[in-house]
Amino acid sequence: MFIKEKNKLKHVAIIMDGNGRWASNKGLSRILGHKKGLKSLKDIINFSVKYKLNILTLYAFSTENWKRPYLEVFELMRLFSLSIENQMYSLNKKNICVKIIGNRTKFSNILKNNINEIEYLTKNNTGLKLNIAIDYSGKWDILNCIKNIFLNFKKNILNINEIDEKLIEKNLCLGYLPPVDLLIRTGGEKRISNFLLWQIAYSELFFIDTLWPDFTHIEFLNIIKSFNNRNRKFGVLV
């Protein structure tokens, strides 16, 4: 660890926003903005490994993003698949454990296969836990959790008194991980956009104007330093 910590930072989540606007500002196609965003993604992942961050969860594609123009969505899905295929061995070599969270039912077979391959390849890695949210929404996550609990209740596997916060957390996509300590959103918007609604209940929130393709590990480090100076109360007077 190369900076002094006041707060114990385990889990960082980032809403990677601004690829399309970055491209439009330069007169480029939106897909070129997404490709440029991949370079920032690699920089942030490499920094997280160097910083020895435990968990990094990234919002790559929301359920609502399906409403975007067909060509952009098609190219994005192709980009996701190619990126996973091209980077899986590099990520594995860095001891990164990769998990893709979200609804996979609309994905192509190629993308599904690449996801299965990278998760299987990296499942025993003990370094950075890298979660990438594709076709994810917080409401979808909670709804699936309720359905799972109801099925177990219906099968008499559990009773009503066993339903508590821990059980809900266990049935969410990231139920095996601690909650998010720090949430960053790039791109100037100040909203959560249906991301990790349960897991960010007590997160420290940072909304920055930098568009994702321009976001670097230097700005990331400055945010971590600011996080370390915050007084996290969790509802208690200190």
- Could you say which of 17, 135, 141, 181 is catalytic? 17
pLDDT band for position 7 (cuts 50, 70, 90): low
Pairing of strands 129-136, 204-207: unpaired
- Could you say which of 7, 65, 113, 228 is catalytic? 65
Average pLDDT over residues 229-236: 76
Q: Is 131 a catalytic residue?
A: no
Two tokens at 153? 């209740």
pLDDT tens digits along 39-61: 999 999 999 999 999 999 999 99
pLDDT tens digits along 119-177: 999 999 999 999 999 999 999 999 999 999 999 888 888 888 889 999 999 999 999 89
Q: Residue 238 pLDDT > 70, yes or no?
A: no
Record the pTM: 0.93
Q: Is 116 a catalytic residue?
A: no
pLDDT tens digits along 163-222: 999 999 999 999 989 999 999 999 999 999 999 999 999 999 999 999 999 999 999 999
**Sheet with strand 11-15: strands edge to edge:** 97-101, 129-136, 55-62, 11-15, 182-185, 204-207
